[in-house]
Every structure is written in structure tokens, then in C-alpha cells.
Copies of this chain bind each other. A is one copy, B any other.
Amino acid sequence: MRIGLLGFGTVGKGVYELTAPRNDIQVVKVLCRRELTLPDAQVTHDFNDILNDDTIDTVVEVIGGLHPAWEYVKAAIEAGKNVVTANKALVAHYYDELLPLANAKGVSVRCTASVGGGIGWLSELERVRRCETVSRVGGIMNGTCNYILDSMTRLDLEYADVLRNAQVLGYAEADPSTDVDGIDTWHKLIVSANIAFGISLDIDAIPAAGISKITRDDVAMFRRKGYTCKLMSAAQVAEGFYSAYVQPTLVENGALEAAVPMNYNLITLQGNTSGRQSFFGQGAGRYPTAYNVVQDCVDILAGRGFYCPYGVKVAVLNDKRLRYYVRGAKDAWLQSQKQESWGEAIVTKPVRVDEMHAWLKKNPDAFIAALPEKN
């Protein structure tokens, strides 16, 4: 396999290093904005040097973001090249174009590193689907948020202080909004659910609530009540209806999710015969992410393309009712949903997920967290 590598940041450099000792997979050209000389690959500033190189059979895209990543990936597929990408935003947003296009062109597309970093999560979903039906996927999919929430919980610190610390340590970006607003998790949930259920979710109907408004006092209250707060994703199918959402969620101390430390991920599926399976590991980082990029290259060499066939577009109906902790805004509707007070916050009666998120959109300074479903 001769690779054109798009991007030479954290993950790109890792892919270059991990493939260097291999005989079956070689990075031959690297698209990179910086001036750079590499011992085993030609560096170019022009994507066309890769696109028009007929000796390159596979493009590895680790630039991130939607543009120009999507234009590059699309052009590569149209030129008959396989694509491996770690770009969850690209796969989530262009799912309906990416899969039919790859199918039409007879090339392979894989994106295992896009969800769960170093965990073989999407490839395991692919294996699971050979033999059983998946009814639920979700979990802790963003290491930055887990690092922040875990540090606030263990060290009793304010959000801003922990975020600053996470930025210094490299666990959070200078602009952390994609992570802390739940967008990264939202992308990962969409990709996971599409593969798990063999469909294409209507992404506009999937809400995401983030963690940026959480305070030390919120965390202290959760501790007193026996809960730990995690940013969780959830997608389910029941009787042909699909639900999907991302939100801060309280888990009982002692639950597996509550024990996920630092920047680790824990992603869960529910199979109809294997039962609950959860996968714990590094959701990001140079070598874990590059590792799954290389795994995808090995799979493509073995003739394995995308994890599942392109499925029909389906609606999302978040009519499940959950109880929510809500702090930071009050209005008549919220008061009408109140079941109890937790300090200055309230805990609602069971409220429809879509209603709660619609309310949050109008009250963006509020913080919400769902209580465990059994309560």
C-alpha cells in the first residue's frame, strides 16, 4: 500500500512513524503546510501532487475539520483511491455522500480512529454486526471532557482552573469549544450509531449539551447525592424508532462510568446475544490514534472496506423522559417541571429529552445534567 498522507500534525506524524518500519504499508507523500524534509517520503504543499500520483492507492486524511478535508477526500475517492480518515466531523457530516460515492467508485473507506482513538470500537461494531443486532451505543467518547470532569470531581476545583490546566497539559485545545460543547462527542455518536444500526441518522434532530457551565458547587452537590457527572452520548433503537443525544449525565458512584479516569474513554454497546460490552482506552493521542489508522490500512489491504453497507436515512425521535438537574435559569415552564430542589438547582420530573434540550437552547447559560434512567 502506497499512502498519500494529508496532514503532519500529532496524528500524521504518528502514522508516518508507525508505518516506517513496515514493508506492506508506506507513506510516500505527505501534504503539509510547513517546510519539512522526511527521510522516506516526499513533502508537498499541493494536494494535486498526491491526487495525480497513480502509484498512490490510499489517502490517509488526518487534517481534521470539514474543509478542505472533504474536498480532498472526495477527489481522492473519485480518482479511485482508498481513504482512511480519523476525521469524525467529516464522516458524521458527509456520511450520505461518502458511502455511496465510495461504493460507486469501488474503493474502501475506513475511519476506526475517528471514534475511540486507540480503541478498536468501530471495528468491533463491524464484527458484532456479523452475528447480532445492536440496540444501544454510547458512553464517554471525549477525553478532554472526561479529564475536566474527573479533575473537578477528584480535586474539588473550578471549571476554569481545570480547563487551564488541561490546556497546559495538552488535554484541551486553546479553543476548547468543540470538545466542551459536546460537538466532538456528537460527531462520534453519529458515526457509531450509523454503523451500529446500519442506518443514517438525521443529524439535525440530535441535540448536544456541553459541560462549560458546570461549577464546583454543582460537582459538590453531585458528590453529596452519590453521583459523578460525565459527558455521555446515547443512541438507541426500539421498535424501529431511533433516539440519540449528547448530554452531561449523572452516574452512580460505583458504576463503571464513574471510574473512568483522566482522558480515557468508555464506550458501550448492547447486543441482543452478547449483552452489554464496554470498551475502555485512550480516545485520542498520537500513537493510539495513529495505531487505528494503521489498523485500517491493514484491513483495506485484506479487502475490508466500510464497516456496514450504506443504510436508509432515518428520523430521530427523542421522546424518552428523563429527570434533569437544572441550574442557572428559571422560567415558568421549568418551574412547572420541578420535582425537588437541590440547593439553588432544581431536579425535574421526567421530561422529554427533546423538550429539555429545546429549553436549554433558549437558556444557554443554564447547566443541565440527566439523572440515571432507573431513578
Binding site for B on A (CB under 8 A): 18, 118-120, 123-124, 127-128, 130-132, 254-256, 258-261, 271, 273-282, 285, 287-288, 290-292, 294-295, 298
Contacts A120-B127, A131-B18, A259-B255 given; does A282 touch B287 at CB 8 Å: no
Assembly CA distance A294 to B120 (angstroms): 20
Give chain B residues whose Cβ lies under 8 Å from the Cβ of A258: 259
Assembly CA distance A259 to B254 (angstroms): 5
Give chain B residues whose Cβ lies under 8 Å from the Cβ of A277: 118-120, 279-281
> Is the CB–CB distance between B291 and A281 below 8 Å?
no
> Is the CB–CB distance between A123 and B127 below 8 Å?
yes
Give chain B residues whose Cβ lies under 8 Å from the Cβ of A130: 295, 298
Q: Which of B260, B261, B279 contacts A279 (CB 8 A)?
A: B279
> Is the CB–CB distance between A118 and B259 below 8 Å?
no
Shortest beta-carbon distance from A298 to chain B in Å: 5
Give chain B residues whose Cβ lies under 8 Å from the Cβ of A292: 274
Assembly CA distance A283 to B120 (angstroms): 19
Give chain B residues whose Cβ lies under 8 Å from the Cβ of A275: 118, 281-282, 285, 287-288
Shortest beta-carbon distance from A227 to chain B in Å: 14
Shortest beta-carbon distance from A115 to chain B in Å: 14
Assembly CA distance A119 to B273 (angstroms): 11
Can you tell how many copies of this chain the complex includes?
A: 2
Assembly CA distance A285 to B18 (angstroms): 39
Shortest beta-carbon distance from A324 to chain B in Å: 24
Q: Which residue of B lies closest to A296 (CB)?
A: B131
- By secondary structure, the A interface counts as mixed
Q: Which residue of B lies closest to A294 (CB)?
A: B131
Assembly CA distance A210 to B274 (angstroms): 27
Q: Which of B132, B261, B280 contacts A280 (CB 8 A)?
A: B280
Shortest beta-carbon distance from A81 to chain B in Å: 21
> Is the CB–CB distance between B288 and A274 below 8 Å?
yes
Q: Which residue of B lies closest to A256 (CB)?
A: B259
Query: Can you offer 7 A-B residue contacts whose CB atoms are under 8 A?
Result: A119-B277, A127-B295, A256-B256, A273-B288, A274-B291, A277-B280, A279-B280
Give chain B residues whose Cβ lies under 8 Å from the Cβ of A119: 274, 277
> Is the CB–CB distance between A287 and B260 below 8 Å?
no
Give chain B residues whose Cβ lies under 8 Å from the Cβ of A118: 271, 273-275, 277
Give chain B residues whose Cβ lies under 8 Å from the Cβ of A124: 120, 124
Central interface residue in A124, A274, A282, A295, by most chain B CB within 10 Å: A274
Shortest beta-carbon distance from A127 to chain B in Å: 6
Give chain B residues whose Cβ lies under 8 Å from the Cβ of A281: 274-278
Assembly CA distance A131 to B277 (angstroms): 23
Assembly CA distance A132 to B276 (angstroms): 27
Shortest beta-carbon distance from A372 to chain B in Å: 14
Given contacts A118-B275, A131-B298, 6 further A-B contacts (CB under 8 A): A118-B273, A119-B274, A277-B279, A277-B280, A278-B280, A279-B280
> Is the CB–CB distance between A282 and B291 below 8 Å?
no
Q: Which residue of B lies closest to A260 (CB)?
A: B256
Q: Which residue of B lies closest to A272 (CB)?
A: B287
Assembly CA distance A279 to B278 (angstroms): 6
Give chain B residues whose Cβ lies under 8 Å from the Cβ of A127: 120, 123, 295
> Is the CB–CB distance between B259 and A287 below 8 Å?
no
Assembly CA distance A256 to B285 (angstroms): 21
